């Protein structure tokens, strides 16, 4: 059993840089239909903060850096990656920095890195896997739809959708099969309070019969989108909807059989999967039954337990060791991490080039 005791200086500070501090009202619940949960910075900081606070963990949401304690921040809040602001967050004797990498390159000056794809743990013991939260307030497929198989949907950012699924030809092919295509996009601008109005665009699966998530691959299939999460799969399981997903490493780690999801990497392959589902109510039923069991593993409650285990099993012990170490030991610890990350990155790049 984990010891969940926190001393007064062990509050977890979820830091949001002033550039990204919300301009509109914050959600009161992590299960609300708040469009900001589609923005990576807020998904990782605000949602995690709200859920941990509800669980009784000493934590706070902060627009300023504390002198002491654990600072957990999205990668974009640690140093600017697009010139929006100057300066960078640094670890000190009393401040311990945890980088939530999301799908960005790690912040190498951090003490620890939380990654959303197990593939990223190859960079060393300071890279800790944590699965992505499922969509807050998710509304599952309506049982009243029964054996209906009509509506196919994509939930996500428009820019990420594969080109094959954007063309008029794609919709004509679906129409020819008696299927309707819905692209669920949710506009949100962290700097525009008008976009903070509650909505359920990304959470409403009640009228959906299948989910398709095929991502654009500018670098080819071999990239496997090694920093992306499996959140679309988690959401499909919780919604009780069969999913057709691209060949991505995060999905493949979770896959035990094709009942978890069908795999495709082109518009034609997606159509073939849809034809299978359309022709086989038995397959759809088996996938829905399987989803019920898998959903329990990845729901918000299970992910909260994983977060608590991570904080008390890894983060706080590492923070205590850091604050008790000497200046030279702290310096060498960060230096070794940075060298180790760069060395591993170069090695994997060479291996990919050589086709290994």
Q: Residue 218's pLDDT is what?
A: 55
Question: Is there a single domain that holds both residue 150 and residue 289?
Answer: yes
Q: Residue 224's pLDDT is what?
A: 55
Q: Does residue 255 belong to any structural domain of this protein?
A: yes
Q: Does residue 304 belong to any structural domain of this protein?
A: yes
Q: Residue 221's pLDDT is what?
A: 47
The whole-angstrom separation of Cα 247 and Cα 233 is 12
Q: Does residue 67 belong to any structural domain of this protein?
A: yes
The two tokens of residue 224 are 């496997």
The two tokens of residue 208 are 């959906």
Q: Does residue 3 belong to any structural domain of this protein?
A: no
The two tokens of residue 181 are 């295509």
Domain stop point among 298, 313, 340: 298
Domain stop point among 298, 326, 345: 298
Backbone angles phi, psi at 154, to 5 degrees: -120, 130
Question: Is there a single domain that holds both residue 181 and residue 70?
Answer: no
The whole-angstrom separation of Cα 313 and Cα 59 is 16
pLDDT by 10-residue block (mean), the chain, 356 residues: 80 97 94 92 97 96 95 97 91 97 94 96 95 95 97 90 91 96 87 89 95 77 73 97 96 97 96 98 98 97 98 97 94 89 79 66
The two tokens of residue 241 are 């909807």
Q: Residue 356's pLDDT is what?
A: 57
The two tokens of residue 272 are 């073939």
Q: How far is CA 321 from CA 72, 111, 213, 318, 339, in A?
A: 17, 11, 42, 5, 21
Question: Is there a single domain that holds both residue 147 and residue 281?
Answer: yes
Q: Which domain holds residue 305?
A: 12-134+300-354
Question: Is there a single domain that holds both residue 167 and residue 289?
Answer: yes
Q: Residue 222's pLDDT is what?
A: 42
Let me know the angle formed at the C-alpha of 279 by 275 and 284, rounded to the nearest 5 degrees: 95
Residue with tokens 């990782």: 44
47 burial (CB, 10 Å; 0-12 / 13-18 / 19+) is buried
**Residue 312 CA to its chain's centroid (Å):** 21
**pTM for this prediction:** 0.93
Q: For residue 115, count other CB atoms closer than 10 A to its CB.
A: 23
* 3-state secondary structure at position 289: helix
The whole-angstrom separation of Cα 177 and Cα 336 is 57
Question: Is there a single domain that holds both residue 315 and residue 263?
Answer: no
Question: Is there a single domain that holds both residue 288 and residue 182?
Answer: yes
Q: Residue 122's pLDDT is what?
A: 92
Q: Does residue 7 belong to any structural domain of this protein?
A: no
Question: Closest by alpha carbon to 102, among 86, 84, 120?
Answer: 120
Question: Is there a single domain that holds both residue 21 and residue 152?
Answer: no
Question: Closest by alpha carbon to 250, among 235, 233, 274, 275?
Answer: 233
Q: How far is CA 9 from CA 5, 94, 95, 133, in A?
A: 12, 9, 10, 27
Report the b/e string of 268-301 with b at 16+ CB within 10 A: ebbbebbeebbeeeebbeebbebbeebbeebbbe
Question: Is there a single domain that holds both residue 164 and residue 288?
Answer: yes
Domain stop point among 298, 321, 345: 298
Question: What's the total number of domains in the chain?
Answer: 2
Question: Is there a single domain that holds both residue 240 and residue 330?
Answer: no
> How many CA within 13 A on the CB side of residue 129?
16
* 3-state secondary structure at position 328: helix
List the CATH number of the domain containing 155. 3.40.50.2000
Q: Does residue 6 belong to any structural domain of this protein?
A: no
């Amino acid at each position: 059993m984990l010891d969940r005791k926190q001393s007064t200086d062990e509050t977890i500070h979820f830091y949001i840089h002033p550039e990204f501090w919300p301009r509109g009202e914050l959600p009161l619940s992590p299960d609300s239909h708040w469009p900001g949960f589609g923005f990576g910075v807020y998904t990782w900081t605000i949602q995690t903060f709200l859920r941990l606070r509800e669980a009784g963990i000493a934590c706070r949401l902060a627009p300023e850096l504390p002198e002491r304690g654990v600072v957990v921040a999205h990668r974009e809040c640690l140093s600017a990656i697009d010139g929006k602001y100057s300066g960078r967050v640094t670890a000190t004797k009393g401040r311990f920095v945890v980088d939530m990498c999301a799908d960005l390159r790690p912040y190498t000056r951090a003490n620890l890195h939380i990654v959303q794809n197990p593939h990223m743990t190859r960079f060393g013991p300071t890279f800790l896997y944590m699965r992505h939260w499922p969509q807050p307030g998710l509304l599952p497929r309506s049982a009243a739809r029964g054996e209906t198989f009509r509506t196919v949907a994509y939930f996500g950012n428009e820019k990420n959708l594969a080109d094959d699924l954007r063309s008029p030809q794609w919709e004509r092919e679906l129409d020819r099969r008696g299927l309707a295509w819905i692209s669920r996009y949710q506009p949100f601008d962290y700097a525009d309070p008008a976009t903070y109005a509650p909505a359920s665009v990304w959470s409403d699966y009640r009228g959906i019969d299948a989910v398709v998530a095929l991502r654009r691959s500018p670098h080819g299939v071999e990239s496997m989108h090694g920093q992306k999460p499996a959140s679309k799969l988690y959401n499909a399981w919780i919604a009780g909807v069969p999913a057709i997903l691209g060949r991505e490493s995060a999905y493949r780690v979770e896959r035990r059989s094709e009942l978890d999801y069908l795999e495709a990497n082109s518009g034609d392959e997606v159509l073939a999967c849809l034809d299978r589902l359309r022709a086989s109510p038995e397959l759809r039923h088996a996938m829905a039954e399987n989803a019920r069991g898998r959903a329990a593993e990845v729901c918000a409650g299970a992910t909260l337990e994983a977060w608590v285990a991570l904080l008390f099993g890894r983060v706080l012990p590492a923070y205590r060791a850091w604050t008790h170490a000497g200046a030279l030991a702290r310096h060498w610890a960060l230096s070794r991490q940075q060298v180790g990350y760069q060395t591993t990155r170069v090695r994997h790049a060479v291996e990919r080039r050589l086709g290994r």
